[in-house]
Amino acid sequence: MGSFSLILLPTLRCNADCDYCFERKSEHCLEIDQLGIITGKVMDHMESIQRDSLCIYWQGGEVLTLPPDWYRRAYDLIGDMAEARGKRVFHYLQSNLLGYDAKWNGIISEMFGNSAGSSMDFPNLHRRLKAGGTVEYNLIWTRKLREARDAGIKVGIIAIPNSKTLELGAERFYSYFADELGLSDFQVNTPFPGGAGGEVKPGFPLDEAGLGRFLSELAEIWTRRGLEAGVRLGPFHSLSEYFLNGTKELNCIWRDNCANEFVCVGPRGHVAQCDCWVTSYPDHRFGNILDEGSLTEMLRKSGARRDLKSRPGILIEREDCLECEYLSLCHGGCPVRAFTVYGDLMRKDPYCGAYRRLFQTMENLVDSGHLEFPARGAGGGTQTAAAVAPK
Amino acid sequence: MASGHGDSNLIIRSRDPSELAECLCSGNLQRICHVQVTGLDSEPDPLVEKGPGVPVDLVVGNPLEELPLLYRWTPLLTNHPVRATIPVAAGFSKAVKLAVALNFAVKLDVLQPGPPLVEELHRVLHAYLHQTAVTQPVEYFHSLLLAFYRRERLTLWTVQEEDPGLYRHVTDDGLVTPGRRFKVPDGSGYFVPEPGFVIRECESARCEHIEHCAGYFRLPAREYDCEGVKSLFRVLKGAAEDLRSDLDSYDSGSPKAR
Ligand code: SF4
Ligand code: SF4
Ligand code: SF4
């Protein structure tokens, strides 16, 4: 019996004001009794599809805008319900860390296994405080990161490149995260122009060729410098595992169909594929878990989910994915990236060219013996929400 | 239908996954070798959770037309080993590529391929032998490669689940037959289900592959020209020899051997 994954957004409130955020913010927060209803229906669904463990990826908004006590009650409630139904639950935290201080240590240790995921870009052009700019954001975030790590919390970082990143190059990017911040666990995700139109979004998607070059160079730098030093850098680490031994522990964008893997629930009970769909595209929601009797039925009947499920089969007829030498790794890429760029779900991922270049580089690194099995010192990374749905 | 076959082990086929799911809930579970879904346009949901561990064979009818449908069956992998049985018909290599990309094992359903299909089989064999992306077994290549490598006796009749001594095919009308390979070409009935009679022809032709083919490609059309399929045997045998010599040289170079 396998596991079921849920991306849970307990609030869309946020203490930052990043230019490229795709979420429509609101002050609304999930009530604990609503959490009980959601958990019950999720567990009913797990029973109907015979899953015995549940992975909950807590995301926002900003999750730490709810108090630690809220999470204590949530943890106890979910734990009690799981125990009564013979299920196991694993919790993962994704936070901007701005609200982090020592009062969080207890619950982060107990509920989240002393791990957390956070995000930062290099250079930071878009992440900013509500009352302040990008410089202030960097100062506070770096301090909070240090404090969390000093408290023994293992923090995995997601970095999103922007046009300036591509100009500065992979070496500077790698040095910032690995040398300046001293991180041994981070991953690169690609940006997309989701949500309502804003000033920055016209800068996305990034130039496909430039992104491909950047990712390719970064893969080489990681192989040269990171592997030996035990740095786990996604997605290069999982791609190296694939080319070395055929295992596919890939991000959602490269799975055969993300719609088979998990769902996302927002603070008002809206259910959709992942956070961007829940928060910004009401027409693509599957339904509302608080209103409907059964999650299983909702998922079965949802037209929006049916569209997502049919996408890879349609792509191999419409696009060139069937001819692609990396079909077993990608299957047309991410639906939300395609939708936000082309307004059409049934197109392949706009970063296709960049992915292919990266895959080719990784394959060459393995074939030329630069990457060897097993990837040294690169095990046991921090699992964050980004492992399933990049934000 | 399952109840009418004594103690025999069963391969149960149906277009309808819910029918198969019912069989997996019945007392027959111990006797079921695997189940075959013959209609890929249905929904897999009823089968996903039933009979965990029982292998599911997805029988592709038309490889080019049904190709996109393979995607809907990946949820089965959570609870079942899954194989796609793909007929060797024009364009089948595309379906093979997608099936292995989806982590399905593959069985090539091959009758007596002509030159264009032999060429396509060579492309698939090359991908199976050399491409990193192909991590799943592609039968019959896989079992024969191992048999050549281990110098084992194994025939295509067994690999392809068509040995009339082990398998019977029950038609939709309930007729017990030795399988379509034994169907006489004019459709008027079946050959005696005894491969020996074709083997004698292969022996007199002094075929070097008789140990592994055993006349498999001599049926149903006795006059079939085997040169194309023999070239596939040769590639497999060569690959097994290369593998053995690679491993021998690796062993002799290892600290233990020195
Ligand atoms: S980010 Fe893309 S691939 Fe991942 S869950 Fe969302 S739509 Fe699917
Ligand atoms: S890399 Fe491009 S062509 Fe290949 S499967 Fe992905 S989207 Fe399709
Ligand atoms: S390859 Fe042809 S001649 Fe050789 S054993 Fe097979 S059927 Fe007989």
Q: Which B-chain residues 84-143 have CB contacts (< 8 A) with chain A?
A: 94, 97-98, 100-103, 132-133, 135
What's residue B254's pLDDT?
A: 56
Long-range contacts of B8-17 (CB under 8 A, 24+ apart): B8/B168, B9/B33, B11/B35, B11/B36, B11/B57, B11/B161, B11/B167, B12/B36, B13/B37, B13/B38, B13/B59, B14/B38, B14/B39, B15/B39, B15/B42, B16/B42, B17/B42, B17/B43, B17/B44, B17/B45, B17/B46, B17/B47
A274 Cβ below 6 A of ligand 1: yes
The parent domain of residue A32 ranges over 3-309+353-388
Mutational pocket test of ligand 3: of B223, B224, B229, the residue with most ligand atoms within 8 Å of the beta carbon: B229
- B79 with A50: Cβ contact below 8 A: yes
As a whole-number percent, the residues of chain A with pLDDT over 70 amount to 91
- B72 with A256: Cβ contact below 8 A: no
Q: What's the CA gap between A268 and A74, in Å, rounded? A: 16
Look at residues B42, B36, B38 and name the one whose alpha carbon lies nearest to residue B15: B38
What's residue B195's pLDDT?
A: 62
**Higher-confidence residue: A198 or B226?**
B226
Q: pLDDT (tens digit, 9 = 90+) per residue, A350-363?
A: 999 999 999 999 99
Give the total number of structural domains in chain B.
2
Q: DSSP H helical segments within B113-195, as ranges?
A: 115-130, 141-150, 156-159
B233 part of a folded domain = no
Mutational pocket test of ligand 3: of B154, B162, B202, the residue with most ligand atoms within 8 Å of the beta carbon: B202
Global pTM exceeds 0.95:
no
A348 part of a folded domain = no
* A265 beta partners: A8, A271
A320 Cβ below 6 A of ligand 2: yes
Residue A177, domain CATH? 3.20.20.70
- B133 with A322: Cβ contact below 8 A: no
What's residue A391's pLDDT?
A: 40
pLDDT at B144 over 90: yes
**Cβ(B43)–Cβ(B71) under 8 Å?**
no
pLDDT at B122 over 90: yes
Neighbours of B8 (CB within 10 A): 12
B241 part of a folded domain = no
- Mutation test of the interface with chain A: which of B94, B98, B130, B138, choosing the one with the most A Cβ atoms within 10 A? B98
Task: Please give the torsion angle defined by the CA atoms of residues A136, A128, A105 and A238, in that order, rounded to the nearest 10 degrees.
Answer: -120
What's residue A25's pLDDT?
A: 64
Of B115, B139, B163, which closes a domain?
B139
Quick one: how far is CA B151 from the chain centroid?
20
Amino acid in the structure at residue A49: I
Look at residues B209, B198, B205 and name the one whose alpha carbon lies nearest to residue B235: B209
Task: Locate B28 and state its tokens.
Answer: 């027959």
Quick one: how far is CA B67 from the chain centroid?
18
Q: Please name the residue whose Cα sits nearest to atom 2 of ligand 1.
A: A334
B54 in reach of chain A (CB within 8 A) = no
- B/e letters for A333-349, b = 16+ CB within 10 Å, e = fewer, are bbbbbbbbbeeebbbbb
**Cβ(B76)–Cβ(B44) under 8 Å?**
yes
Give the total number of structural domains in chain A.
1
B45 part of a folded domain = yes
- C-alpha pair distances (Å), B142 with each of A162, B92, B106, B237, B240: 46, 17, 10, 11, 11
- What's the mean pLDDT when you consider all of chain B? 90
The parent domain of residue B194 ranges over 155-228
Q: What is the mean pLDDT of residues B148-157?
A: 94
What's residue A204's pLDDT?
A: 77
A320 part of a folded domain = no
A330 Cβ below 6 A of ligand 2: yes
A249 in reach of chain B (CB within 8 A) = no
Residue B97's pLDDT band, with cuts at 50, 70 and 90, is: very high
Closest Cα in chain A to B46 = A49
Q: Which A-chain residues 20-59 have CB contacts (< 8 A) with chain B?
A: 48-50
Question: Are residues B161 and B78 part of one domain?
Answer: no
Question: Are residues B192 and B109 part of one domain?
Answer: no
**Higher-confidence residue: B117 or A130?**
B117
The minimal CB distance from A313 to the residues B69, B132, B133 is found for B69
Residue B164's pLDDT band, with cuts at 50, 70 and 90, is: confident
What is the three-class DSSP state of B245? helix
Mutational pocket test of ligand 2: of A255, A327, A341, the residue with most ligand atoms within 8 Å of the beta carbon: A327
Question: Are residues B173 and B45 part of one domain?
Answer: no
Look at residues B40, B85, B97 and name the one whose alpha carbon lies nearest to residue B65: B40
Question: Are residues B3 and B51 part of one domain?
Answer: yes
DSSP state of A137: H
Instruction: Give 10-residue mean pLDDT values along chain A (391 residues).
Output: 91 78 71 97 93 94 95 98 98 96 98 96 87 88 97 94 94 96 93 63 82 97 92 94 90 94 95 94 96 95 96 96 95 95 95 97 92 53 44 40
pLDDT at B204 over 60: yes
What's residue B3's pLDDT?
A: 61
Question: Are residues B193 and B159 part of one domain?
Answer: yes
B169 part of a folded domain = yes
A331 part of a folded domain = no
Q: Please name the residue whose Cα sits nearest to atom 4 of ligand 3.
A: B207
Question: Are residues B16 and B91 part of one domain?
Answer: yes
Q: pLDDT (tens digit, 9 = 90+) per residue, A319-352?
A: 999 999 999 999 999 999 999 999 999 999 999 9
A316 part of a folded domain = no
Compute φ and ψ for A324, nearest 5 degrees: -70, 135
A357 part of a folded domain = yes
Sign of CA dihedral A239, A241, A245, A249: negative
B242 part of a folded domain = no
The minimal CB distance from A327 to the residues B69, B101, B135 is found for B101
Which span out of A88-92, B170-174, B244-248 was modeled with the highest average pLDDT?
A: A88-92
B255 part of a folded domain = no
DSSP state of B144: H
Q: What's the CA gap between B97 and A329, in Å, rounded? A: 12
Residue B170's pLDDT band, with cuts at 50, 70 and 90, is: very high
Residue B13's pLDDT band, with cuts at 50, 70 and 90, is: very high
For residue A323, give the ligand 2 atom closest to its CA: 3
B147 part of a folded domain = no
A40 part of a folded domain = yes
- The alpha carbon of residue A122 is apart from the nearest alpha carbon of chain B, in Å, by 33
**Cβ(B62)–Cβ(B31) under 8 Å?**
no
Question: Are residues B174 and B58 part of one domain?
Answer: no
B240 part of a folded domain = no
The minimal CB distance from A314 to the residues B68, B79, B102 is found for B68
Look at residues A144, A46, A31 and name the one whose alpha carbon lies nearest to residue A77: A31
pLDDT at B51 over 90: no
What's residue A245's pLDDT?
A: 87
What's residue B191's pLDDT?
A: 78
